A and B are shown apart, each in its own frame.
Chain A
Amino acid sequence: MSTHPSLRRRLPGWLVLFLAGPVIWYLTFWLVYLVAEAGCTTGGLDFRLLGLPGLSVITVTVSVLAAGTIAVLTTRAYMRWSDDPSGEDHRRSLMFAGFLLGILFLIATLFIALPALVLEPC
């Protein structure tokens, strides 16, 4: 039983691994959306790299980086889940949920990058 709750609190590790995928996807989504909206409205970012328009390059780069981060954290959540042989820890199933969420949002993040490769952005 805990005593008086301490005032200093760090973000608990289970929460980070549980919500890493969705949170990273969400931030990525907003970032690429705002950059795309700004780029297309102002006509900025008007360069090409490797035959791709600048906006697409940025979109693909950002979402691939985000996908990589999600992949790393998802792997960690999976290991936390499978490493616990007793299965008694209540956080274990949250780690499994974190692993599932990670995979889903990995797909969602890659879906952001995909159209940038085939569509003219603006």
Chain B
Amino acid sequence: MPNDVFGSLDPRGPVAAEMADVWWFMFGLGLVVFILFAVLLVSGLFRDKGSDRGMGSSSHRWIVGGGVVLPVVVVTVVFGVTLAAMRILPVGGSGDAVVVDVIGHQWWWEVHYPDHDVTTANEIHMPVGRPVELRLSSADVIHSFWVPSLGGKLDLLPDRVNTMEFSADEPGEYRGVCAEFCGTQHAKMGFLAVAESPAEFEAWLATQSQQAAEPVGEVAARGREVFSEVGCADCHTIEGTDAVGTTGPDLTHLATRETLAAATLPNTPEHLADWVGDPQEIKEGVNMPDLPIGEEDMAALLAYLEGLE
């Protein structure tokens, strides 16, 4: 999605900024070391050796100077910078942090706001300037949570909860991905971290904690029936209806989300039709089956889903 901010060196939060600083420092140092090496190598290879008598005893000074002193100094400095950064980087548990539970699935992200009783998927909303404490775990295999422009990675494990903290300095939609190979569709397991003003964030929470919107009109009402009949409800939950499946993402407020299929497609009616109609074409190997749904029923189903605001 073209307008998303993405990239480790395009930091939009203090954590990613600190990491980028460490990088730029090491990059500068590394460049100096490489140039030094390259000059020594090239001049050694091509210098004029007409009256050369070798360097005799100075050879060992090369090893001591270049091979010991130089790396010891460089490594000590880099290690110092590393430790300093590790001290600064938050590990979670700030008092005013927004707590978000993220559970990895093959191949989507389940997202809970435990303090607000909100459940969503593949989208993490956060107020600008306030830290977010992410409590990460997995429902199946190991995944890794990564929003390059906001911070580093942390793995989602099936047998423990890992905690990390980051925040965004400015509003924006920051793309995140799964960074640990997790099976067939590892490539299409993305999400969005949406940073917005505190007011917008509160409003979003308020919407999301509601039950699902009632279908408007007959077609959409028929769509709700189709949802149960063809089996969607076996895997998906829609709060306030009898759909309580937990294998797939919660769809209570599907229409408010930016993307479909774990940040694979923008959430437009056309893409929704493509996705529901033929998920295996969009995301080969995904656990969502191609269901045999008649044309009329499909139109109803889509109308219902599009109304889930």
Asked if chains A and B are in direct contact (CB within 8 A), the reply is yes
Query: Footprint of B on A, CB under 8 Å?
Result: 107, 111, 114-115, 118-119
* Interchain CB contact under 8 A, A114 and B87: no
Q: How many A-B residue pairs have CB under 8 A?
A: 11
* Interchain CB contact under 8 A, B83 and A119: yes
B72 located at the interface, meaning its Cβ lies under 8 Å from any Cβ of chain A in the complex: yes
Bound: A107/B87 CA distance, A: 22
- Give residues 58-88 of B contacting A (CB, 8 Å): 72, 79, 83, 86-87
- Report chain A residues within 8 Å CB of B79: 111, 114
Bound: A114/B83 CA distance, A: 9
* Interchain CB contact under 8 A, B72 and A107: yes
* Interchain CB contact under 8 A, A118 and B72: no
Bound: A75/B244 CA distance, A: 72
Query: Footprint of A on B, CB under 8 Å?
Result: 72, 79, 83, 86-87
A117 shortest CB reach to chain B, Å: 9
- Report chain A residues within 8 Å CB of B72: 107
Beyond the given pairs A111-B79, A114-B83, A119-B83, 6 more chain A to chain B contacts, judged by CB atoms under 8 angstroms and listed by A's residue number, are A114-B79, A115-B86, A118-B83, A118-B87, A119-B86, A119-B87
A57 shortest CB reach to chain B, Å: 18
- Report chain B residues within 8 Å CB of A115: 83, 86
The 3 A-B pairs of least Cβ separation, nearest first, read: A118-B83, A115-B83, A119-B86
A6 shortest CB reach to chain B, Å: 39
Interface majority SS on B: helix, strand, loop or mixed? Answer: helix
- Report chain A residues within 8 Å CB of B87: 118-119
- Report chain A residues within 8 Å CB of B86: 115, 119
- Report chain B residues within 8 Å CB of A111: 79
Bound: A26/B54 CA distance, A: 39
11 contacts across the A-B interface (CB closer than 8 A): A107-B72, A111-B79, A114-B79, A114-B83, A115-B83, A115-B86, A118-B83, A118-B87, A119-B83, A119-B86, A119-B87
Bound: A119/B79 CA distance, A: 13
- Report chain B residues within 8 Å CB of A119: 83, 86-87
A98 shortest CB reach to chain B, Å: 16
- Report chain B residues within 8 Å CB of A118: 83, 87
- Report chain A residues within 8 Å CB of B83: 114-115, 118-119
Bound: A85/B294 CA distance, A: 96
Closest B residue to A41 using CB positions: B160
Bound: A119/B83 CA distance, A: 7
B61 shortest CB reach to chain A, Å: 15
B108 shortest CB reach to chain A, Å: 30
Bound: A119/B89 CA distance, A: 11
A60 shortest CB reach to chain B, Å: 14
A116 shortest CB reach to chain B, Å: 10
Bound: A97/B79 CA distance, A: 26
Bound: A107/B83 CA distance, A: 16
Bound: A114/B75 CA distance, A: 13
Bound: A115/B79 CA distance, A: 9
Bound: A111/B83 CA distance, A: 11
B141 shortest CB reach to chain A, Å: 22
Closest B residue to A122 using CB positions: B91
Bound: A114/B87 CA distance, A: 13
Bound: A115/B85 CA distance, A: 12
Closest A residue to B72 using CB positions: A107
Closest A residue to B82 using CB positions: A115
Closest B residue to A104 using CB positions: B68
A59 shortest CB reach to chain B, Å: 14
Closest B residue to A103 using CB positions: B68
Closest B residue to A117 using CB positions: B83
Bound: A38/B79 CA distance, A: 25
A41 shortest CB reach to chain B, Å: 9
- Report chain B residues within 8 Å CB of A107: 72
Closest B residue to A115 using CB positions: B83
